[in-house]
Structure 1
Amino acid sequence: MALLMNCLAFFFKVLTIPLHLLKAVGLYGNVYRRVFPYLLFKISLGYNKKMHDKKKDLFSNLSEFKKSGEALSILEIGCGTGANFKYYPSGCKVICTDPNPYFHKYLSKSLADNDHLSFERFEVASGEDLGIIESESMDTVVCTLVLCSVNDIPRTLQEAHRVLRPGGAFYFMEHVVADPSTWTYFFQHVLQPMWYYFGDGCEVTRTTWKDLESAGFSQLNLRHIDAPLTFMIQPHILGYAVK
């Protein structure tokens, strides 16, 4: 079975050679990064509908991490179209980062629909380099469906850990690789070469929970679930880690 999986994965890698070439000369990224925000806006509507209860439960204790007498501060890494905004508590202060500047249009729409938030600013930055955010300045950091596409998960988690104040929390909800005994695992590896390009660098074969376990947080609350989504991204982890 492993041999068949590797052969099929190689076949799909060959099919993506034209995309590799387009990426190498800069044509793929320049075009797709303009189109992807619209696609993600549409996808996020369906994702939120199916994952509403899970997100509501995940973010239900955000306010527990605010300092006494102060508004809760939230940094969202890879904010995309602002699909998480409606789950944040009233009055919280939000800073958003994303490496794609073309999300700004949809981010503005989400902010208009969620005036219970106090929006501070949007910064164009990757998860691996959050130097624009002061160390130990945030109560919480949120990262959902982002660790599947960053170039360096450990570095991104280091940055999240750095900007959190002592006692602050890192919230996550990510799809991960399936159990090796399942057909989902088989097809995740077979179709990954194509998925990478149509998912803006997304990888469905990552064991992200291992990176979280070794990220140096003092407490990790993590659950594995089968999300009510397409089989490729059905395996999920969610929870929060305390600095």
Structure 2
Amino acid sequence: MKKNVKIIIAAAVAVVVVAAFLLVLVNTADSSLDVIGKGSSTSFAEVLQKIPERVKIDDENSGYSLEAPDDTVRFIWSGDYSRSPLYDAMLEFDVQPFLDAGLDAGKLPDNYTLSGDKLLAGVKFEDGNVKEGAAATPLAAYERIVDQHRDRINYHSAMDHFGVKLDGGNMFEWAKDMDTNTVTGDVQDKDIVFVLDPEALIEAGVSPEKVEGWAYATVKVEENGKMVEVYKFLKPFDLNE
């Protein structure tokens, strides 16, 4: 009987030890093994350093902006979600090419806002453990997205790009490694790419082939475990030009 009791106690201790070990592994994975999150922060920092003259404080949106080399589109991300007036991350771009192609802005969904001669396509993050105060640097503001809204960070394997997912299939993407990024005539092989999903714009009257300044092309994306080609509006840039 005593022998059986000792076996039961030993088994119970072993279960506790294993459970504690598994808990450590889970906590470690959560805190330090987010490869995509950490890798995206490193490569995003490289983009910011590559074009510092294009990275600016954006007081209106309580954050920072990265402007395209052709001055027609910006990626804006908030450093203080409690103060961002419309969206916490967005693309801001010239609306005229889309108006010329038939856009009726009044028919766009809520993730779009017309502001003067600009159209905003953004996302308002769901409430979470919001940190008090504004992020002190552009990179810190991006890392706040990684920390609080990890599901918004994407790795596009077909293009070897990281990205911030906005609502409605819109995105801002950048090369995982600009030094090894293959730049060809393909609009996808660029250092940064501003991406708009055409569906909502087409439903609002846009004839996609008539939009000037944006490439209307297919890209490979993963859906239900398979790679498929879908159409996107793309504005890509090689930062070494």
* TM-score (normalised: structure 2): 0.28
* TM-score (normalised: structure 1): 0.28
Q: Which has the higher contact order (CA 8 A, sep 6+)?
A: 1
